[in-house]
Structure 1
Amino acid sequence: MPIDPDQAIGASLPDLPFSWTSSDVLLYHLAIGAGQRADDPVDPAALRLTFDDDHLQVLPSFGVVAPGFHRTMPPNLAIPGIDIDLTQVLHGAQSVQVHRPIPTAGSGTLRTEVSDIWDKGKAAVIVQSGTAVSDDGEDLWTVTSTIFVRGEGGWGGDRGPSTAVVVPERAADAETTYAVSPQQALLYRLCGDRNPLHADPAFAARAGFPRPILHGLCSYGIVLREVTDLLLDRDPSRVGGFSARFSGIVFPGESIRVEAWDGEESIVVRASIAGGERDGSPVLSDCVVTKA
């Protein structure tokens, strides 16, 4: 079997030293749509994400991509006990929790382990948990991601949790729509995810898609940025964490509808396709922005 849970669960991946600069932060923010509104170039709040002066801040979702930001090869799923086909892999869910605001430049080490593997019958879900630690030994942020692998389930393992985030039965407190540019996946791949699924039409076809799709983590960043703009005064320091399940795909050129319900400690979010033949199709589900 390509996945051996007994060998994989609890396995530690090699420590990953990494560093980042303000240029990396700016590129990431631009890749998730910062600065696109007509008044953004002269709006001090918008410039917190797009201008490298003393007011530059870092959206917490950057922590998810920072360790692999300078990677130029497709992702390598070299995990003990796991041998899978990249064309069958989709990002299932992602969370990030920051222990303090992310510096605009720095260095550290990501320490990751396989924390669980779930058997969904026709697919397997691989759960990885990691903590980014500064060179001074301080925890910077914690990430948890799940990888959905089609065709690798059915060994009789634990199916994993099935809890869902409840969306309030009232109108959203804030709502917006973001138009994904046709070249957005090509821009976002410069943030370290060179999976050809997002750029190569032939590879996308082999994976069962009519054309390349947007990175799930790009949608993830877009949604967090929009919610921060809508309900947190465009202030990334007010975000303590963000978790979401990737429940659908986005094709470059489509639009994402973001609905948000404000609460005392967190914001519940729903993201779906806006307009066109796929209007209402899910993009992100079980989304929660935790307030700092």
Structure 2
Amino acid sequence: MIDFGILGVVDGPWRKSWTSDDALRYAVGVGASELAFATENSSGVDQQALPTMALALTHFTEPEQIFGDVDKTRVLHAEQSLTLHRPFPVAGSVEVRRQVTDIFDKGSGALVVSRVDAADASGPLFSAVSSAFLRGEGGFGGSRGTSSRSAMPSREPDRRLEFATATNQALIYRLSGDRNRLHSDPVYAAQGGLKRPILHGLCTYGITCRLLIGAFADGDAHRVTGMTGRFTAPVIPGDVLVVDAWQEHSGVAFRTSTAAGTVVIDNGRLELAGPR
């Protein structure tokens, strides 16, 4: 049963810190082979942190977000947005606050929307809004909310990007802090109705962001100002990911699928600043 008392309550602040090594570990977790993301001492190459690392620090890590007495194996990541107020640094420390802003009744489940804000000594660094779908927790008579779906471009994609995830991709990614057993423990995954452990949604999100930075930002992660997307299906470690992307004004619309054609992130958009 959902604890509706969490609505509107601000959790925190708590502190999250990271080092250059953490940035390298995260980059490898999302399959990076680009030297700027995966090394710190390559000749003529300055290390950069991937902006989606901000989510690895503040989502599904301690302190755990509690929705009430609900079955954790039936909680799915539904939507995610990230807004960067400044480029995400290779190392740093932030003060984090989190608030549940909405709880919607979707019938077959409940959608819990949360906002995270993080600031360092220079001020706000990033904000993020995530939605968790709690299967079987709907039907309580609440508002359904509005649809966040938007039409994707109807033309052929400007770029089609591919990445073959490794069979141990989730085991590498979990070293950045998300130790949810749905991504590593076959017995636990089966309790949630899954045939095998699945890849973290935020790992797929990070892989997608990395590919788009390479294709549309000349590999410069500092140009990313935001990213949003809706998770629609799980990825199995070892799946090949295909990102269809469309250049649009100051950003890139995208959809991520498996090579078999299953859409796994829909209604995606990456926001980019101009070249430095």
For 1:130 and 1:202, locate their aligned partners in 2 and report how far apart those are by CA, in whole Å. Answer: 31
Any conservation in 2 of the 1:244–1:287 contact (CA below 8 Å)?
yes
For 1:156 and 1:92, locate their aligned partners in 2 and report how far apart those are by CA, in whole Å. Answer: 21
The residue aligned with 2:269 is: 288
Any conservation in 2 of the 1:95–1:143 contact (CA below 8 Å)?
yes
Any conservation in 2 of the 1:19–1:67 contact (CA below 8 Å)?
no
Equivalent of residue 101 in structure 2, options 100, 103, 115: 115
Question: 5 Å matches for 1:1-292?
Answer: 2-5=1-4, 7-35=5-33, 46-53=34-41, 55-67=46-58, 76-79=64-67, 82-134=68-120, 136=121, 138-274=123-259, 279-292=260-273
For 2:128 and 2:228, locate their aligned partners in 1 and report how far apart those are by CA, in whole Å. Answer: 9
Q: Spell out, residue by residue over 1:9-53, the C-alpha distance to the aligned partner (whole angstroms, 9 max, x if none).
A: 201113221100000001101110100xxxxxxxxxx22111214
For 2:93 and 2:12, locate their aligned partners in 1 and report how far apart those are by CA, in whole Å. Answer: 17
For 2:3 and 2:49, locate their aligned partners in 1 and report how far apart those are by CA, in whole Å. Answer: 38
Higher strand proportion (structure 1 or 2): 2
| AA matched with 2:31 | G
Any conservation in 2 of the 1:165–1:287 contact (CA below 8 Å)?
no
Runs (4+) of structure 1 exceeding 3 A deviation are none
Q: Spell out, residue by residue over 1:151-206, the C-alpha distance to the aligned partner (whole angstroms, 9 max, x if none).
A: 00101111112131321111101111110100001111111010110001111111
RMSD over equivalenced CA pairs, Å = 1.6
For 2:148 and 2:89, locate their aligned partners in 1 and report how far apart those are by CA, in whole Å. Answer: 34
The residue aligned with 1:38 is: none
For 2:123 and 2:148, locate their aligned partners in 1 and report how far apart those are by CA, in whole Å. Answer: 32
- Unaligned runs of at least 5 residues, structure 2: none
Any conservation in 2 of the 1:272–1:280 contact (CA below 8 Å)?
yes
SS in 2 for 1:113: strand
- Unaligned runs of at least 5 residues, structure 1: 36-45
For 2:157 and 2:99, locate their aligned partners in 1 and report how far apart those are by CA, in whole Å. Answer: 37
| AA matched with 1:107 | S
SS in 1 for 2:189: helix
Q: Spell out, residue by residue over 1:113-159, the C-alpha distance to the aligned partner (whole angstroms, 9 max, x if none).
A: 1111111001001111011111x250010011111100001011111
For 2:28 and 2:244, locate their aligned partners in 1 and report how far apart those are by CA, in whole Å. Answer: 22
The residue aligned with 1:40 is: none
| AA matched with 1:62 | M
| AA matched with 1:108 | V
SS in 2 for 1:131: strand
